[in-house]
Each structure stands twice: as C-alpha cells, then as structure tokens.
Amino acid sequence: MIKIFRKTIFLLILLNAVCFADEFKYKWSSYTTYFRQDIDERDNNIKVAARYLDGKILIPKIIFSFNDEVTDKISEDELGTASTIVGDKRVLGIGGGLCQVSSTLYAAALYAGLSIVERKSHSELISYIPPGLDATVSMNDGVDLKFYNPYGCNLIIKASVEGGSLTVAIYGTKPRVRDIKILVSKPVKKEQFLYTTTTRTVFSSGKELFSEIVSMDKYLTQ
C-alpha cells in the first residue's frame, strides 16, 4: 500500500513538472551576452546568479526585484572576487559579474514589453552590452532592477550559461501579440560624458501602437 502511494505521488509530481514545462512554451524575448572565462572569479559569479534567476515566475502586476529574488538570496561564500564598478572606479570586490546578469535580464525585459519600475545605468561604458541596455545592481547600497509583467498571463524567466555566454529568455503561457523594437541613439559626447537615449516602440499586426523613451543615460569616458 505504501509503495503504491509513493508511486502515485511520484507520478503526480512528474506529471505536474511536465505540464508546468509545457505551460510556458511561448518565447517572448531572449538576450545573450558574453564573458571571458579566464578572468578572476567573474564566471563563477555569473553562473551562481543565473542559477538563482532561472525559473522565476512573473505574475501579472507583481513587481519583480532583482535584489530580492537573486542578490539577497546568494550567500557570500558562493561568490568570488572579481572586478566591479564602485562609484566611478573599478575595484576588486565580492560579486563582480552580477551586473552582467541583471543587464542581460533588463534587455530581455525590454524586448518582452515589461514595465520598468527601477533601473540605473553604470557610471561608465561596459563591454558586454550596448549603452542604454545595462542595469547595475548592488549588494550594499540598494541599487536595484525592478519591473513587472503588465499582461494577463504568467511569464517565466529562463537563465542559462553555456561556455562564455549568458542567455536570459522570457516565456509565456500565451503567444506574445505585440512586436517590440528597441533603439539606442548614437552616443553624444559632451565634455567627459557620453549621452544616450533608449526608445521602445510597440507594434501590433504591423501597426505602431506607441513609442516611449525608457531611459536617458550618461556615461563617464576615460
């Protein structure tokens, strides 16, 4: 009797897992960034953060916080020392590489049409993503990436690392009915800064619904 009960529970769990995987079968967006695998412990930090991010559900109208769901859940002994930006300087610190995960997620969120609540660019240009698409986070001073799902169906975040590439994709329980175009303006240099404007245009059935400025960013040049 106990064996039958255990077998039934196992089959129910397996069936639920299969149904759950099938539920989120429509890809809404995907973005990939790249990193070197031979620099300090940055690659480890990216893999750890991606593992915590993978599988997060985006319930409609509920704000997702990168720090709440990823940064604050990682213990310091899981992270290594790597280059990170503090203020206007590059230093070695615990958790270097987390911003690549948050930036890749931010780009995927923009292309999925999600509503951005809070996002801050880096103080200087970074190599793994174009200006205007980066999103810095911090383990210490509360800098966060926040957004929410404005649609009427659940979404899921899938994060994966293969070799020196990080991919963040967003899947839905229903097909995406809008097309998204992201345009980052050509950087304009004024004194020691570069300025960019990022615009998102939303289309439906080939017709433009609206266009919005999602950010105006300033980066310090060397």
In a domain? residue 19: no
Token digits for 70?
Answer: 């990823």
In a domain? residue 191: no
In a domain? residue 51: yes
Q: In sequence order, which residues have a C-beta less than 8 Å from that of residue 15 and are 6 or more positions away?
A: none
Question: Rounded to two decimals, what is the model's pTM?
Answer: 0.86
The model's pLDDT over 207-216, given as tens digits with 9 standing for 90+, comes to 999 999 999 9
> What's the domain count of the chain?
1
In a domain? residue 90: yes
In a domain? residue 203: no
Residue whose token pair is 């570069």: 194
In a domain? residue 159: yes
pLDDT bin (cut points 50, 70, 90) of residue 10 is very low
The mean pLDDT of 110-120, rounded to a whole number, is: 98
Separation in Å, CA 120 to CA 8, 20, 214 = 49, 33, 11
Residue 75 is predicted with a pLDDT of: 84
Strands (E), 48-178: 57-58, 63-65, 81-86, 89-94, 115-118, 146-148, 155-162, 165-172
**Three-class SS of residue 159?**
strand
Domain of residue 34 covers 24-176
Residue 105 has pLDDT above 70, yes or no: yes
Residue 80 is predicted with a pLDDT of: 60
Residue 129 has pLDDT above 70, yes or no: yes
Residue 210 is predicted with a pLDDT of: 96
Among 38-42, 55-59, 80-84, 184-188, whose mean pLDDT is lowest?
80-84
In a domain? residue 196: no
Q: Which residue has the higher pLDDT, 171 or 4?
A: 171
The mean pLDDT of 165-180, rounded to a whole number, is: 95
Among 18-22, 33-37, 141-145, whose mean pLDDT is lowest?
18-22
In a domain? residue 48: yes
